[in-house]
Homo-oligomer: A and B are copies of this chain.
Amino acid sequence: MRAMSKGERTRAMILDEALALSSTDGLAGLTIGSLAERLGMSKSGLFAHFGSKEQLQAAVIERAGEMFTDVVIRPSLEKPRGLPRVCALFENWIDWTKGAGLPGGCPMQSASLELDDKPGPLRDLVAHQQDRLRSFIARGVRMAMEEGHLRPDLDVDQFVFEGISISFGFAMNHRLLNHPDAEQWARNAIRGLVQRSLPDKT
């Protein structure tokens, strides 16, 4: 890990700060000037690390994806496969939304809303990351079905849609209206989703 040159180190430092900034101001609100000022360096010096603003934004999106993987996905893999892993993922996700690291909300969520009408490489990047998440959850659910933890006739895509919707809905309620009950609602909703996906007790 000490094979990290000076340039690579500052680049990583820039990305960390850029991620924090874009989580509050959005991907478009992320400006090179303010980012440089926060880091106490010159615009041009910062700029040279990325070559263009779009590439900076792309790097931010990728970094956000890595962070999400580290905080939400990877820890869930330490749980036993099947239902425990699926539940752990949603719990990690709720914790992540509550502000794990980033000052603003989940940057991927705002990026999605921001880019949904703007075709281009950034939009493709975000869509791809969302697809990866979706298929990861689907894989976990299918495992849980194989393990007998969930109904064999469960509609996997429907389950994933509802789980993701709850997570996004929680972010909305928690961050904008910061309603104190939002977390409880989200946990209840996830629990209900799981409960009605269990195998029949007959």
**In the bound complex, what is the Cα–Cα distance between A50 and B80 (angstroms)?**
59
Whether A173 contacts B161 in the complex (CB less than 8 A), given A105-B113, A117-B103, A168-B168, comes out as yes
Listed residue (A115, A161, A170) with the most chain B CB atoms within 10 angstroms of its CB: A161
Q: A26-B26, A116-B176 are in contact. Are A185 and B161 (CB under 8 A)?
A: yes
Q: How many copies does the complex hold?
A: 2
One digit per residue, 1 when the CB lies within 8 angstroms of any chain B CB and 0 when it does not, for chain A 111-131 equals 011111110000100110011
Pick the contact of A158 from B23, B118, B165, B185 — CB < 8 Å?
B185
A163 to chain B, nearest CB (A): 9
Closest B residue to A109 by beta carbon equals B113
Q: Tell me the count of chain A residues lying within 8 A, CB to CB, of chain B.
A: 47
CB nearest neighbor in B for A105: B116
Pick the residue among B26, B104, B118, B196 that contacts A28 (CB under 8 A).
Answer: B26
- In angstroms, Cα B169 to Cα A182, docked, is 16
Q: B residues within 8 A CB of A126?
A: 176
**A157 contact set on B, CB distance < 8 A:** 181, 185
CA A123 to CA B161, docked complex, whole Å: 28
Q: Which residues of A contact B (CB under 8 A)?
A: 23-26, 28-29, 103-105, 109-110, 112-118, 123, 126-127, 130-131, 155, 157-158, 161-162, 164-166, 168-170, 172-173, 175-177, 181-182, 185-186, 188-189, 192, 196
Complex A-B: 10 CB contacts under 8 Å: A24-B117, A113-B172, A113-B176, A130-B177, A157-B185, A158-B185, A158-B189, A161-B186, A165-B165, A165-B172
